[in-house]
Amino acid sequence: MTSPNTPAETPNQTVQSTPQPAAEAGKPGKLQVSDLITIGVFAALYFVMVCIATLVSTLVMGGFGSIFLPAVAALISGCVYMLLAARLGKFGGITVMGLVVGLFLFVSGHFVLSFIASIVFPVAADLIARAGKYKSKALLLVSYVVFSYGLTGPILPLWFMKDAYVASLQARGKDAAYIDGVFANINTGSFFLAMGAILVCAALGGWFGQKMLRKHFVKASIV
Q: What is the dihedral of CA 192, 193, 199, 203, to 10 degrees?
A: 170
Extents of the domains making up the chain:
35-217
pLDDT per residue as tens digits for the range 1-20: 444 444 444 444 443 444 44
3-state secondary structure at position 161 = coil
Rounded-to-integer distance, Cα 181 and Cα 41, Å: 36
Cβ atoms within 10 Å, residue 218:
12
Q: Percent of the chain at pLDDT above 90?
A: 48
> What is the structure's pLDDT at 220?
43
> What is the structure's pLDDT at 41?
93
3 state SS for 86-141: HHHCCCCHHHHHHHHHHHHHHHCCCCHHHHHHHHHHHHHHHHHHHHCCCCCHHHHH
Q: Percent of the chain at pLDDT above 70?
A: 82
> What is the structure's pLDDT at 216?
58
Angle between helices 93-107 and 78-88 (to 10 degrees): 130
Q: What is the mean pLDDT of residues 131-140?
A: 94
> What is the structure's pLDDT at 68?
94
> What is the structure's pLDDT at 217?
58
Where do the H-state alpha helices sit in 62-91?
A: 65-76, 78-88
Residue 67 contacts by C-beta under 8 Å, 6 or more apart in sequence? 155, 158, 185, 186, 190, 194
Closest CA to 128 of 148, 146, 102: 146
Is the separation of the CB atoms in 129 and 85 below 8 Å?
A: yes
pLDDT per residue as tens digits for the range 148-193: 999 998 888 889 888 888 887 787 788 888 888 888 889 999 999 9
